[in-house]
Amino acid sequence: MGTFYVNKGRRSWRLIHETYQDGKRIAKQVPREAFNGFGFSINMSIEEAKRRAKELNQKGRLERAKEVEQARRAIRSLIVESVYLPAYLANDFTQHLDDNSFGIAAHKERLQSHWRYVQKMVAKLEIEPKDFYKNANKIYRYFIEDGLSVDYSNKIIRVLNMWGSFVSERSQSFFREVAFPRGSIRERIADNQDTNGVRTKSKPLTPELLEEKRRKLTVPGNYEWLFLSVWLGLRPWEIDSLHDSKSSKVIIVRGITTLGVYQSKLIALPKDQRWKFIPLLTKQQQECLEIIRSGGFKRPLYKTMSAIFDGVTLYGGRIGFLRLMRSFGQQKVNVSKWLGHTNLRRTIEDYEEFDDVQFDPIKKPKAS
């Protein structure tokens, strides 16, 4: 029945079940949700867990086989109960994932974690595999509302499509895969996700607030990184990409020095259409060009932002960019393009402050 051993993981210890099949070693990580079935607890220290693993390994074959089967039932019980997830199919797919995935035990456990997320999502949205494709926007909206990153969204869609294909093969029905989010949908998911995975809208980071907190930004390059965010309105990954000389270029447009920034994640567009251009109209924006050329900018850690700023994330500069540029007399439609948005409505919905009232001066009527 194999043996159990405990090793140290990134955050805590991991329980591994090791067996041999046809002379080949097979090591599977036991899900934390199934620990109770083996007599483990997530609150155990690594030393206590090792002692429990030793006890298991010393038990007789029949007694250990019974405990292993109990643990497997515990794993199967993690299947979400829903008419959209037939239990017999969901159980078979769980085993299918485990048997057909390659890599170390940690990789297999991550795959099972993605599958558990898919189950909860399918049950919540109440959609069957045959309807996944036509409900793609419903699925993308779920990701946005749940604060998922683009990368994690892609991983979930991958397992969602695997589940759909698995069901269609069993039922001999047609299945059309859900595409990975692209274009404006991908942009919406990316903008809704800060670096800590917390789905809360950042407060704006203004030039005044940045200067006020400058002395507290003691890590070299942190202030400069935030300066670029405030005065260029770039996404965090766009700022990071500026370390690569191929990700930016400088051109002159009607006598104005203009910065071109390559948007590598816009994979739905041809490469020559992935550039956005920001005219450097102010003295501070001209300084941004010097910072980029020097390479002396470094993304602050999330805990740094939390310690120094109240409610401001790495998107703070971008959030405040619309109001900042409006204070220099720029039209919303221009700022929207500099932000890299596909339409003005997107800019107004997510970046305009509710108290940012815009109006034209009242003109006195001409005397008749």
pTM (2 d.p.): 0.48
Establish if 144 belongs to a structural domain: no
Q: Same structural domain for residues 209 and 344?
A: yes
Q: What token pair was written down for 352?
A: 């305009």
Mean pLDDT, residues 96-119 = 78
3-state helix, strand, coil in the chain (%, to 5): 55, 10, 35
Does 206 lie in the same domain as 72? no
Higher pLDDT, 60 or 328: 328
Residue 227 is part of which domain span? 202-351
- Of 44, 63, 78, which residue constitutes the final position of a domain? 78
Domain boundary among 55, 78, 101: 78
Query: What average pLDDT does the segment 100-106 reach?
Result: 65
Mean pLDDT of 211-228: 95
Residue 248 belongs to a domain:
yes
Specify if 247 maps to a domain.
yes
Count of the separate structural domains present in the chain: 2
Residue 279 counted as domain residue:
yes
CATH of the domain at 279: 1.10.443.10
Tokens, residue 77: 């019980």
pLDDT at 24 over 50: yes
Q: Which of 78, 100, 128 is the last residue of a domain?
A: 78
Tell me the pLDDT band of 59, cut-offs 50, 70 and 90. low
pLDDT in tens, 154-177: 999 999 999 999 999 988 889 999
Q: Could you report the per-residue pLDDT of 221-250, keeping only the tens digit for each?
A: 999 999 999 999 998 889 998 998 888 999
CA distance 351 to 336: 9
Asked if 314 and 236 touch (Cβ cutoff 8 Å), the reply is: yes
C-beta atoms surrounding 280 within 10 Å: 18
Burial 166-194 (b: 16+ CB within 10 A, else e): bbeeeeeeebebbebbeeebbbbbbbbbb
The order of strands in the sheet holding 13-21 is: 3-8, 13-21, 24-29
- Residue 167 domain-assigned (yes or no): no
In a domain, 362, yes or no: no
Residue 92 lies in a domain: no
